[in-house]
Structures are given as C-alpha cells and as structure tokens.
Structure 1
Amino acid sequence: MKAGTAPPADPVILGVRHHSPACARLVAARIRALRPAFVLIEGPADFNDRLDELYLPHRLPVAIYSYLARGGTHRGSWTPFADHSPEWQALQAGREAGAQVRFIDLPAWHDAFAHLENRYADAADAEHQARAEAYERALADKLAVQGRDALWDHLFEDAGQEDAQAGRDDVDGLALRLSTYFGHLRGEGETGSLGNQAREQMMARWIAWAMAQDRGAVLVVCGGYHAPALARLWRGMPTGEPETPQPAEGPEDTIKNIANQPITTKASARFGSYIVPYTFRRLDAFAGYASGMPSPQYYQWLWEHGAEGAARELLRGVVQRLRERQLSASTADLMAVHARALGLARLRGHRQPLRSDWLDALAGALVKEALDAPLPWTYRGPLRAGTAPVLVQAMDVLAGDTAGRLAPGTPQPPLVAAVRAELAAQGLPLRGTVTLDLLKEGDRARSRVLHRLALLQLPGVVRTRGPAMALSGERGEAWSLSEPLEQQAALIEAGAWGATLEDAARARLEDRLRQARGRIAPLAEGLNSAAWAGLADLSDGLLRDIGDAIAQEPRFEVLAPALGLLHTLLRHGQMLGMAGAPVLRVSVEAGFDRALWLLEAPAAVATADTEDHLRGHRALQRIVADTLADLEDGTPHPLALEPARALAVWQRKAADPQAAPVSRGAALGAVLALSGRLGGGAQGDGAATPEAGVEEAMDLLAAMTAATLGDALAGLLALAREALATEPAFAAGMDRRIRALDDEDFVQALPALRAAFAWLPPRERGQLAGQVLSLHGAQHLPRRTLTAATPGALPPEALARARAGEAAAAARLAAWGIDAGTGAPA
C-alpha cells in the first residue's frame, strides 16, 4: 500500500475461478498495487506452518495432498496449483509484497471435504446447482454462447488478456464483472451445505483476525462461490487467531460451528498433508475432476505467451498429433482452421480468437462426417462415446501431458524412504523385467514386496505373468518395473496408509476388503491378494466384517467357490504366511454353514453358473475331507464344522427330483467320494462298495432325460471321478446308457456329455477310452482313436447331427421304396 494511503475499511475479497489466467493476473496486479499487510488464500490452514515448502523451486503443477485415516474411514483430497492458478500467484505476489500469507480454509481431511477430492472443484451444493445452471444458461443464451467454459472465456479471459497485453494496471472493470457474476451465481441469502458453511465460517474467522490486527490492508483470494458469503460473515466472527481443527471424534462431531466450538482430537487418527507432483491430465476437468478450468495446457500457453502465442502452440500441437496418429491434417486444413477461427472471433466480438473459437474451427475444418456425440467443449466431464477421433486428439493436446516435479529436500512421508530401502534390500531396481521362482525363499520375499506395492496401486509396478491364485502350484511369475512420472506422487499419497510398506499395504487391503460390503467374491479375491503379499494378520474389526459379509451372501455359486480359496490358504498357506490365519478360520467356519444352507433349497442352476456350482461342491467336499483327516489324526483345534450335516444335505439333494440335475450329480458324487469315511451311500445305509457306488450313479443317470443326462454326469465326474472313472462297471453302464439313446436324443445329449467328460484329466480319459474299446472288441486300436481330434474333421456334435439327418432322409426314401444306398427302387 502506498505511503500515506489509509487502508480500506473492509477486506478486499477477490472471488476467482480456480486456474483462470484472468483471475491470476487480477490477483497479482491487485497485490502489487495494494501491497496489503495480509494475503489470505483459500487453502488448507494446517499447512500454514510449512508454507516455506511451497516456495522451494518446484516445477509446477504440484498439489498439497491431505489425508485422514481413522478406523474404517480413509479420505484424501488435493489442493492443486499451476502457474496460472490465482492461489499460486497470490502466494508469490504476497511474499514479494512483504505481506503475511496465510491459508484460511479447513484442512482438506476435515469432514467438510468428505465427498470432495479436489478443494478447488467447481461443484456447488446440490440445492444451489439447478439455480446456478439456470443463471448461466440464461446468460449464455443472451450472449449467444454455447457452454459454460465458452461463456467464461467470453466474459473474462478475453478482456483480461487484452488488459494484460495493453499493460494497463486498471483491473477494476474485471473485478467488478467477477463480483457481479459470482453474486448472481451464489444468490441472495444462499447459505449452502453444512460443509460449505463450516468452511466459510473458518475463512471468515481468519478475515476477522487479520482485520483486527489493524496493520494494513487485508486481501482475500477465494473461490467465487464463497466470496459473497465471506463479505457478510466476517464482521460477526471472533477476532482471535483461529486454531486449526483436528479430526472429529465421531460422526456426531462431523460439522460443528467453527466460530464457537473446538473440535476434539482422536488419538488413533492418522492425518497430515504433503506436497506431491501433479499433472495437467489430473487437473483437466475432462478427465473426471470438476476442477475449475479445463484444458490446462492451453491456459498455460495463454498465461505464458498470450492469446497469439497460445494459438500458435495449439495449432502446432494439434497438427503434429494428428499426423502422428495418421489422421488427416494437411496444410490446406491448417489454413482453413486459421481462417475459420479468425472469422468466428470477429463474429462473436472477441478481440482475438479464444479457446472455443479455435476448437469450433478445428471441428468445422477437420471433421468430415456427421457427429455422433456433442462437441466435447460444450459440456463438462469425460469425453462421450462416439466423439470424432480428431476431436479426441485435439482435446488431449489441450489437456497436456506436463508433469510437476518436487524440489530436492521437499519433506515426504516416511513410506517413501521405507519403500526405497526395502527395494534396495531386496535388490529390486525399478527398471526392466524381473522373473521370480516362488519356490525359492529369496524370490518369495521379493514377490511379497512387489505384491504389497501392487496393493498400493503404485504406477510402474505391473505383474505381467503368474498364477491368479496364490496356491495354484505354479512356481513362476514376472513383473515389469519402471519409474513413470506419476509414481512419486502416488507413493507420497500412499503414505496416508502407513509408515512402512507392510503397514500401508495392510491398511490399503483392509479398506479394500471393507468395500466388499456383503459380497464374498471380492472378499476372497482380497484375501488372495493378502496371501500373495504375506499379510496374514488383519484387524479384529475386519474379522467381524467378514463374518457379516458371508452371512449376507445370497448365492451358493458365489459363496462356495470363494470358500475353497480361503480354505486352501488356511490349510496350505505356509509359504505365503497365511496358514492358520484367524481371519481365514473365521471365514471358512461361517461360510461353510452358510453354503450348506444355500445348497439345501431346490433351485435351478443356470448354464453360466454350472462351473461355479460344481466348484462350490468341490470346495465343500475338500473342507469336509480335511476336517475328517484332522479329527482322525487328533490335530489340535480342528475347524468347528459338522461333516455329518454336509453328508445329510448331499444325500437329500441327490434324492430330490426337483433339484437341478447338475446339483444332484454333484451331491451324489460328493457322497460317493466320502463313502467309507462318514459311512453311507446316497441312501445313508452304510459304507458303499465301489460296485454299489457305480450302481447308484447309473440309477441316477437312468432317471435323466437326454437334455439333462450330461449335466448330471458332469456333477458325478467333477466330485467322484476317482471313485467312478476307473471302474469297468461305470464304463459298461455309460456305454449301455448312451447306446439306448435314439439318434435325436443322442444329438441333444452329446454337447453336455462331452463337457462332462472334460472333468477327467487326460490320463483318466485315456483309461476310460481303453475300457470302451474293450467293450466293443477293438482292443487293437490305440486309445487316441477315441480321444484325439482328427485334423480337419467337423466337431462331434456336427457329425452326430449330420448322421441323424442322413438316417432320417434314408428312412423317408425307404418309405417310397427307394434304396438310399443305390438310389434304385427297393
């Protein structure tokens, strides 16, 4: 402020649109002209003690990442900065002017940001949104402008750029237009949501404190939505220096009156803020953020080079990209774009072509076909399906691929150093391809480290080969390792989950498991990930969540196969550190009872669910067999299960004519496979002999129609192949059953029969083929005669249909006295 000039009686509150070059120029010009004592900026107040970190020589864009981890709650939010951000220019110009610079908003981990990932989002309150959109729509219609962003450029960026080029210091006109625009956008008496009220009370307290110091002018930079409210609120606020609130104790403390009530701290909460590298792609509204201005690369060019320089960079970048992608972009096209943009700018009253003028010109000159989607700059959000490829590439160029970089010495969370140390200790440089042998202890340790990084979703750590299941029996896996630009930011952000790699991976996994919300399939998948990462000890609270999730699963085909995985990890997970894990024991015991209850009902089984249904039966059979073995061996602490109950359910299912054929076959197969250990065949009358088991199986198959024969056989072979496939009586019985089918029934039954025999491994399939050859006196032929595919031959189903058609035609000809073999009269 100039000497001898009295400070303003009121604070100078500049409402801005985040990442707007015009607003950034206004803020810088006002600070240099006013030289205020205080520059108060919408930003996380918990970072005030560390503001010097923002003045390190970073390469922008960067962001302050704030996080909160407390019990089952985990939140993260970003406060991003680019060169053309008004908040960044306020930081720089404020320090140059000798002002006290302060962030004045609530910390980004506060509950006011519970559903807001980006502090500088344009999203307003739901109840306010409709009216604001109606105002902008009416204004756009009045000015004949299409789209919110084009309206903004028309009203503010055009004039702001002209003022800057002319070197004028008088920006009062721009400030007045902004104030009027945001006043109409907010509306009279609009209080906003509880979250916005809490934020505005906090910001107003800082303004009241600064004004009470009476040391000079106070300049406030905030989102335009908040500016009208702050101008009203600050006079009624306490004048003491505000204390930064700490995480709330519980849900009842979520939003309090920041003006008068402190917020208590919960000791178990983990929260904080760090500067992270950011990228223009993350900043771009079209990538999913409502983050203020779209096309950050274009506005960076506008900030650095002015409108004319931005146009040169835009045309150069778009043409180069289109030619790289083999899309049409000739010199004549370029000339047409330039001429159209100039004409559109004059028609619309723009001093120089703006972003929308150039984009409309690109569409008019380069898109030769009818559009299947709206022009992407006329709406907010991700690009829609059907957008012309030329426009997709143009928008990508304007978004930019610039990535920020932190200055050396920037504080980082402990996890960053912990990960680097662990990678070094395991000899895992983040470059190239790593191949691991899971039967070697050293490679298993490296695998666990990489799987933990994968749980944290760290870019540059990609598993390219390896088994899906942790105990599949395969021994090798391969990883592709690199250090992409976004990796550092992701690792810093992952520091919110814990200080060490193991702790962070466990916390991230537990959060993922909580998201299962009653669905056992993602729960089992998450525990499989825990096995790979060697994370056996999960929280007690998660054990209860898992029990609740299992109790709520409504489908046998989802629950039972997942139990098979969990049981395998529980029983054989020594190499992965999961054997005997309490979380697995709880899951298996609760899930076993639930699966039997679901199996009891005589429900149909859809074709798409057949494999999962059979996997479920097999999982229950393995659990019963292992529990019986533990009981026979006197193993301490066997699973608290009732094998006899499972046997009873299977016996009832096998005898139930209303049950699905595949389920009846699987149930009988389970009974036969366990025969002699629990006692009883399907009728429960004592241990069944192999011959009796085959007889029961054939009785079941005899009751099936041609359409259901294969399904029942699939169930039998999936569960009792060891008890049936090697028995000659089974081969003889199947031979009789199939030969009894007429041609039409055989064609109908064949696909499902082939699928059923696929449950036999190649060796057992060969043994069965040998038995069939013996039955037909063809022992001299090799087994491959029946098992090997004939090159060039049609599928068996097609051959069967053809033969059935031939037989039907021959029968019809014979009825007319014609010999089908010779064509002569019969």
Structure 2
Amino acid sequence: METRAPEGTDSPPATLAPARTGVPTLAADAAATPIAAAVTTPAAGATATDAVDAEGGGRVRGVAGARRAGGEEPAIAVLGVRHHGPGSARAVRAELERLRPDVVLIEGPPEADALVPLAADPEMRPPVALLAHVPGDPSKAAFWPFAVFSPEWQAIAYAVEAGVEVRFCDLPAAHTLALDADPVLRDPIGELAEAAGYDDPERWWEDLVEHRGETGTLDVVAEAMTAVREGHVADGTEALREAYMRSVLRKAVRDGHRNIAVVCGAWHLPALTELPPAARDERLLRGLPKVKVAMTWVPWTHGRLAAAGGYGAGVASPGWYDHLFASPRRPIERWLTRAAHVLREEGLPVSSAHVIEAVRLAVSLAALRGRPLAGLSEVTEAARAVLCEGDDLAVELIGRRMVVGERLGHVPDSTPMVPLQRHLREEQRRVRLKPEALSREHDLDLRKPLDLERSRLLHRLGMLGVPWGTTRQARGKGTFRESWTLEWRPEFDVALIEAAAWGTTVEGAASARARDLSASPHLNELTALVERCLLAHLPDALPRVLRAIEDRAALDSEVRHLMAALPALVRAHRYGDVRGTEGLGPIAESLLARICAGLSPALTGLDDDSAREMLALIDGVHGAVALMETDRWLPTLAGIAGRAGLPGLVEGRVVRILFDAGALPEGDDVATRMARAMSPGNPPARAASWMEGFLSGGGLLLVHDARLLATVDGWLTGLSPEAFVDVLPLLRRTFGAFAPPERRMIGDRVRSGPVAPDPETAAYDDDLAAGAVRTVLEILGKA
C-alpha cells in the first residue's frame, strides 16, 4: 500500500505500511520541494509554438507573477510548491487569484480529474486523500493526501470556486501501480538549509516561507531550487513522471488554453520550464506497463500527514501548520490559549496570566534567535516552562492533541464508494458511532439494544479485517459488559474495498468471510471462530462452522488440539443467554470427555518445553470447566496426580488445582506431597519445577500456610551451593511472577523468625482471645 506524496507532490508514492514490493519511499524529493514560483511569459513577438514547441521543444520563460500583455501566445505559470505548508498554500492561492488562469494543472493522478467537482461539496472536509486501487487486488493501492493547508488543495479550491478546469498532470496511477518505482534519495531542502547555515531544514523553511508568505519569496526559492538541480539528469520513474507532466502541458496548449497555471513540486519546476522535443517524451512513455485502476476520495487524518508516521512527504507538525493557516493573525496568542484549554480539560490549573506570560516568553525567544515569528519550538518551550511548569507529560499531551492533531476528514455521500463502504456509513449512523481519529473508549452494556448493535457491528468489522475497535478489560463483572477502544485509520477504507468481495452489507460480508474461514483444518481456530460468530451475531454462518467443528473433532485424535479448542467453545456457550443463541453444551461436553480419556497418555515423555505447553493447556481447560456443569475433570486430575513419571511442573500444578478445589484424595496432605517432591532423593531441578507448577497460582498460600512455607524454606536452605545456582533461574521465574505485595509478605514472614511454630510453645491464651471471640459472636448475632 502506498501513500502518494500528496497534492502536487514532487515525488513518487511513499510507502505506508504494509509496503508494496518495489514501491519507492519518499525520501528527500518529498521533503524537498517547497514553494517556489516561476511564472512564464513568452518573449515579445513569440508564438505559441515558440513558447511550447510541440515538436522541436522550447522554453517556458518569464518572471514570477508576470502576465501576458497581449497577443495569442499562451501564458504559462509554473508554481513550484512544497506539500502541506500554510505559507505556501496562501501564496499559491494569492498567485492564482492574481493570474486568473483558464486551466490549472496539478501534480496528481489524471484518473482523478472527474473527482475534482466533489471538492466543492460542503460535506468535503480535509484532510482527505485520493485513493487509487486495482479492482480485485486492493493490496495495490496508493494515496494522495490533502490538508486544508496544502498548496494543491488550495489550487483545487480556487479552481472549483472560479469555475476553472482542473487537470491532474502526474504519471497516471495505472502506470504507477504497475511499475516498480525507484526511491528518491536527494533532499534539496536540506541542501539549501545547510547552505544557509541551518542544521534543521524544517526551521529554515519556516523562517523563509511559512512565517513570511510573501510572493517574492517564491521566486527566490524557485531560483534556489533551479541551482540545486543544475546538472541533475532525471532517470527512472522521475524521468517518466516529468515527461508525462510536459505532455499534459503541451496538450493544454493544443486544446486552446491561453492562461495556464501549473502547481507542482518545486523539484520538478526546472523540468517543466525546459521543454525538450515532444517526440523524446513520447518515446520515453511508449509501452509502459499498465493496470486497471479505480479512484475515489477517502477521509484522512492529521496523524497520517505527520512524517513521524512514516509518510515521507509528511511534515513534523500538521496540527501546528493547520493552525498557522487558519489563524494568520495573532497565531501565537491563539495557539497558547488553545493549549491552556487542552490542559484545563485534563484538570490542570492554567490561568489567563499563564497564557500572557507564555506568549511573552515565546516572542522573546523568537527575537533572541532572530526569527520573524515564534515557531513551534518557541511556543513549545514557553508552554513547557509556564503552562506546564516543567511537566513533560503535560507537554506530550499538547503535542498529541495540537502539534500533530487528531482531525479526521470527511467525504460527501456522493463520493464513489463500493457498496460495503456505503453500507458501513449507514450502519455508523444507525448505531450512532462516529469514526474519529482520536482514540476513544466505549463501555457497552449488552442488555441495551443500542449497545448490543454496536458490539455486533464492531465484531463483524473485525471478522472482515477492519479493526476499528479493539477490546479491552471491561469495567465491572458480568458477561453483559464489553469495553472497546475505537480509532479510525485511513487504511481501513482499503480493507473495506478488499472485503467488498465478500458482500455488499457488513453482516453479509462478515457471514461469507466466516463461512470461508470454516475451511480451516485447525480445531482451535474453528472453536475460536464459533465465538467470533456469536459475538458478531452471524446466524447464517454458525451452522457451517459448527458442522466443521464436529467433522474436525471426530477426526482429530490429538488431545492437545482438543484442549486448545475447548476454552473458546465454552466461552461461546457462556454468552448464549445474553446474545439469544442456542447453547453449545453438547459439543463442549463431547470434547471434554475425549480430553479426560486421553489426558494421562498425553502426559508421558514430555520434555521441558512440552511440559510448559501442557501446563498452559491444563490451565485453559480448568478455567473452561469452571463454566460447565460437569464432574469429569477433577477426578481425572486426581487419577493422574500420583502417577509416576509426571514432569515436576505438571504434577505441581495438578496438585495445586486439586488442593484449591478441595479435591485431594482423602487422607492426602498437600504439605506431605510438597515435602516428598522436595526430598533429597529428587533432583533439585525437578523439585524446583514442581514448586513452580504448584505456586503458579499465586504466593498467598505461602503467607497463610506456615507448614508449606517451612517446607519450601527448609528445602532451599538445604541445597548445596552448586544445586542452588542450578535452580536459581527457576526460582526467579516462580517468585518473580508473584505480585509485589505477596513477595513482600513472604519476605516479612521469613525475616520474622522460624517460619513454622513450635507445637509445644504455640498454645493459645484463652484470656487474650476471649475479647475477640465475644466480638465475633456479637457480629454473628450469637452473643
């Protein structure tokens, strides 16, 4: 999957994980082509052919901002831009309003020309992105993101408002997705910043353009970019893209346009002002590989515009840039006021006086550093020192909420969508769940119809590979509660396009996907699938999945597979009453019967890794049995507890389960069993494994049972130094799993003296106990 260096981008698609093999990463070129403007005017007496010679080549000439004085020759203005820059966006908009072109060419996929009118829809709210994908193979997809502060978006907005034709002029997506594009390695902006004595290209660009925005600056950057590119010979994908841009420019002239504006990455500006013979470009473009593509608009997020998210053409602070574009007047005061509001929402005390002092500090820092306007570094330092009082967590909160931002764009309903996308939008409205870029927590009560429908929608999307919601530990107890964390990500639209092959509605597609997954040969996957079908309420898919389980269970003789499958099936059965589904008890009972019959042989000849795996399976089955009405399990464990040849880990765990359940055979004593397991006749490693298995249920047992603690303490103190070193890793793993309070109490008991009381000196003092006894009897009403 790719992310195209957005609006009028100057670079090939940037990789958005997961990357498509062969798609280039947007390195320098994307970060490198800031706003520059070169407006061309043919020399006096020249003809259109002189300006743009379709056969013999030519040069697009002129001074930035100039207009043709008269005649029939076309005036061509090439505006070189950097993606996602507020100063750049304002300058491009102002230049277009001055030039009033009759056609605007924008770097982007030509397949999107028909989608431009949607930009005029009031429901279209950036950030948004053009999405190109190959029908039938959605893994081949590319995005071209746009923010409101993107120069290319402002060019589109100007054109649709003025009724001017817009054409995208980059290499078509049909070729881009078929090519193994090569990466771009140069960073022209970094080179210019270094030449200017800056160690931070972003800061240099902000000082030069974003914090100034004068039109004349664009000419300076254009000249600088031309100088940086001097001697550079384009090749590979870059050469193809620039050849196609020139061909679109020539076609615009042939179609009779006389006032043409081109908005492209500044890196490409010299390639469009020098026009070689058309035949050369035609030869270069002839025979390119091609695939069929579909194009649409999709919502985007500020987080996905951030360079930190892996987007090569991204900016470090999209939220900050959005603020600069929306608040050209008094941006520092407005920013720090918003920061104070964010902190107050989190319960942090921030007054108006804090804001005033923070503004003064930011302005002073900018003056000391010789900057035309306080930048992000200055306002962040001011916020840290004054608003946050040095608290880094509060600064991180401002960064997450404001510097990067949490805005999610929106596309109108008239946007081309696959039926599944459109149905999901309807479902989101029906259950009143709004997709947001901000991660939000939702606690659902499944006894309420609306919450139950929300749960089913989220589970169905999970079945389709669209994890809009992720489950977390529910607050409170009860199977009727679910807790979710919801966060919408732009790549979910691609996942929906891919899932559209399963059906036109969310429920129908999820059911078809579940039926397809029922072909899995693994029993544990099938039982987990039953649980997912119940949670998603997919009654059409459930019968096939249950038949598949019966078929696999009848053929699968491996006890481990049955043990791995049982817990999910029992959990699914537990949800039956709440979700109105039929019980799955008979299937679970059948699996448990086969597990009990085959458990003892399955415990023979286990190595350490196999024993640890079996321990997890036994715990899983034991937890599942607690939800079933059965008396099979504990007698099975009692029957194998004393069997010779059991791994120490498994034997210790089985004894602990029986002890906790009060199911040890009559006359059997857990302290005696522990003493026997830790006797000198057993190897120290086996004794340590037995203890690990026994104590894996928690350490409070040692706190409250002095005999067990004495046994463990006596065994440890009786080990030789060599044996102690050998078992130390096992001991650390055992005691390290205890909660800190448990470890502390065990240590206190050991430090307090003999861990087992002397029976001859431990007599009770009846007089001291009498008061406590009377109090307990009064509480029980028996005094």
* TM norm structure 2: 0.59
Asked whether 1:577 is paired with 2:544, we answer: no
User: Which residue in the other structure is 1:225 paired with?
Assistant: 267
Instruction: Determine helix, strand or coil for the equivalent of 1:353.
Output: coil
Q: CA deviation at 1:47?
A: 2.0
Q: 2:246 aligns with which of 186, 201, 204?
A: 204
- Please state how far the C-alpha of 1:211 moved relative to its aligned partner: 2.9
The CA distance in 1 between the partners of 2:553 and 2:227, in whole Å, is 62
Query: Between the two proteins, what is the percent identity of the paired residues?
Result: 22
**Aligned residues of 1:14 and 1:220 also touching (Cα < 8 A):** yes
Q: 1:450 to 1:10 in 2, by over 3 A?
A: same
Specify the alignment match of 1:149 in structure 2: 202
Q: Residues 61 and 280 of structure 1 are in contact (CA less than 8 Å); yes or no, is this contact kept in structure 2?
A: no
> Following the alignment from structure 2 to structure 1, what is the Cα–Cα distance between the partners of residues 413 and 385?
47
Q: Does 1:800 align with 2:711?
A: yes
What letter is aligned with 2:498?
W
* 2:757 maps to 1:752: no
Report the AA paired with residue 220 of structure 2.
R
Quote the Cα distance in structure 2 between the aligned partners of 1:587 and 1:39: 64
Query: What is the CA distance between 1:220 and its match in structure 2?
Result: 1.0
| Residues 1:667 and 1:506: Cα distance change in structure 2 (over 3 Å) | closer
Distance 1:184 1:661, change over 3 A: same
- Equivalent positions of 1:10-159 (< 5 A) are 11-58=76-123, 60-68=125-133, 73-95=138-160, 99-106=164-171, 111-112=176-177, 126=183, 128-129=185-186, 132=188, 135-136=191-192, 138-139=194-195, 142-143=196-197, 145-159=198-212
Please report how far the alpha carbon of residue 153 of structure 1 lies from its aligned counterpart in structure 2 after TM superposition: 0.9
Change (3 A) 1:100 1:592: same
C-alpha contact 1:7 1:216 (8 A) present in aligned 2: yes
3-state DSSP of counterpart to 1:204: helix
Give the SS at the match of 1:105. coil
Cα contact 2:563–2:617 (8 A) shared by 1: no
Q: 2:67, 2:99 within 8 Å by CA — same for their partners in 1?
A: yes
Matched residue SS, 1:537: helix
> In the superposition, relative to structure 1, how do residues 731 and 91 fare at CA in structure 2: closer, same or farther (>3 Å)?
same
Distance 1:454 1:401 in 2: 23
Task: Tell whether 2:497 aligns with 1:496.
Answer: yes
Q: 1:191 aligns with which of 219, 234, 245?
A: 234
Matched, 1:537 2:511: no
1:174 to 207, 217, 221: 217
1:418-468 deviation line (CA, Å, top 9, x unaligned): 3466689xx856599765589x9x99998654421344677986767899x
Give the aligned residue type for 2:321: Y
Match of 1:451 in 2: 459
Residue 762 of structure 1 is matched in structure 2 by none
Q: CA deviation at 1:498?
A: 4.7
* Change in 2 beyond 3 A, CA 1:346/1:534: same
Residue 754 of structure 2 corresponds to: none
Instruction: Assess, with a 3 A threshold, how the Cα gap between structure 1 residues 429 and 59 changes in structure 2: closer, same or farther.
Output: closer
Structure 2 residue matching 1:188: 3-state secondary structure: coil
Residue 311 of structure 1 aligns with which residue?
332
**1:536 partner SS:** helix
Cross-structure match for 1:273: 296
TM-aligned CA deviation for residue 499 of structure 1: 4.8
In structure 2, what is the Cα distance between the partners aligned to 1:695 and 1:301?
71
Deviation by residue 1:596-642 (Cα, 9 ceiling, x = unmatched): 9xx9xxxxxxxxxxxxx9955989xx9xxxxxxxxxxxxxxxxxxxx
Please list every run of 5 or more consecutive structure 1 residues that lacks an aligned counterpart in the other structure.
117-124, 164-170, 241-255, 370-385, 468-473, 509-529, 551-559, 600-612, 623-642, 669-690, 760-788, 809-818
> What code does the residue aligned with 1:138 have?
E
Structure 2 counterpart of 1:793, which letter?
A: H
Q: Is the 8 A contact 1:62 1:82 kept in 2?
A: yes
Which residue number corresponds to residue 654 of structure 1?
604
Map of 1:379 onto structure 2: none
Relative to 1, partners in 2 of residues 1:807 and 1:281: Cα closer, same or farther, differing over 3 Å? closer
SS in 1 for 2:223: helix
Q: CA deviation at 1:152?
A: 0.5
CA distance in 2: counterparts of 1:727 and 1:822, whole angstroms:
30
SS in 2 for 1:74: strand
Matches within 5 A, 1:245-256: none
Q: TM-score, length-normalised on structure 1? A: 0.56
CA distance in 2, matches of 1:464, 1:657: 35
Cα deviation, 1:650-674, whole Å, max 9, x if unaligned, reads 9798258999667899999xxxxxx
Deviation of the 1:311 alpha carbon: 1.8
Distance apart, 1:135 and its partner CA:
1.6
Matched, 1:709 2:659: no
Q: Note the C-alpha offset of 1:51.
A: 2.0
Q: Which letter maps to 2:268?
A: H
The reply on whether 1:418 has 2:446 as its aligned counterpart is no
8 Å contact kept, 1:65–1:76: no
Deviation at 1:113, TM superposition (A): 9.4
Secondary structure, aligned partner of 1:159: coil
Cα 1:193–1:346 shift into 2, 3 Å: farther
Q: 1:38-82, CA deviations, whole angstroms, 9 ceiling, x for partnerless residues? A: 210123322212321111224632413414255565244443333
Contact persistence 1:666–1:716 (CA under 8 A): no
Q: Deviation per CA, 1:209-250, whole angstroms, max 9, x where unpaired? A: 11333431322101223333444567436899xxxxxxxxxx
Q: Which amino acid aligns with 2:210?
A: E
Local SS of the residue matching 2:211? helix
* Residue type of the alignment partner of 1:654: T
Say whether the 8 Å CA contact 1:12–1:220 is kept in structure 2.
yes
Structure 2 CA distance for partners of 1:312 and 1:505, relative to 1, 3 Å: same
Moved more, 574-583 or 352-361: 574-583
Tell me, yes or no, if structure 1 residue 236 matches structure 2 residue 282: no
CA 1:348–1:666 in 2, change beyond 3 Å: closer, same or farther? Answer: closer
Q: Distance in 2 between matches of 1:406 and 1:791?
A: 62
| Greater mean alpha carbon deviation, residues 290-299 or residues 43-52 | 290-299
Q: Give the deviation of 1:16 after TM superposition.
A: 0.5
RMSD: 6.2
Q: Which has the higher contact order (CA 8 A, sep 6+)?
A: 2
Q: Aligned with 2:461: secondary structure?
A: helix
1:24 CA drift (Å): 1.9
**Contact 2:81–2:266 under 8 Å retained in 1:** yes
1:313/1:462 Cα in 2 relative to 1: closer, same or farther (>3 Å)? same
Work out whether residues 462 and 468 of structure 2, in 8 Å CA contact, stay in contact via their aligned partners in 1: no
Structure 2: distance between partners of 1:435 and 1:480 = 9
CA distance in 2, matches of 1:233, 1:462: 54
| Equivalent-residue separation in structure 1 for 2:638 and 2:400 (angstroms) | 68
Q: Quick one: structure 1 residues 435 and 197, their matched pair in 2 at CA, closer, same or farther if it must change by over 3 Å?
A: farther
19-28 or 429-438, which deviates more: 429-438
Instruction: Summarize deviations over 1:494-545 as a string: whole Å, max 9, x none.
Output: 652355885576999xxxxxxxxxxxxxxxxxxxxx7xx6743328xx97xx
Which residue identity does 1:396 align to in structure 2?
R
Query: What is the number of equivalent residue pairs in this alignment?
Result: 608
More displaced, 29-38 or 444-453?
444-453
Structure 1 residues 333, 110: CA separation in 2 closer, same or farther (over 3 Å shift)? Answer: farther
CA spacing shift, 1:657–1:300, aligned 2, 3 Å? closer
- Judged with a 3 Å threshold, the aligned counterparts in structure 2 of structure 1 residues 111 and 802 are, in CA distance, closer, same or farther, namely same
The answer to whether the 8 A contact 2:138-2:497 is kept is: no
| Aligned-partner Cα distance in 1 for 2:69–2:443 | 69
Cα distance, 1:589–1:174 mapped onto 2, change above 3 Å: farther
Residue pair 2:84, 2:151 contacting (<8 A) in 1 also: yes
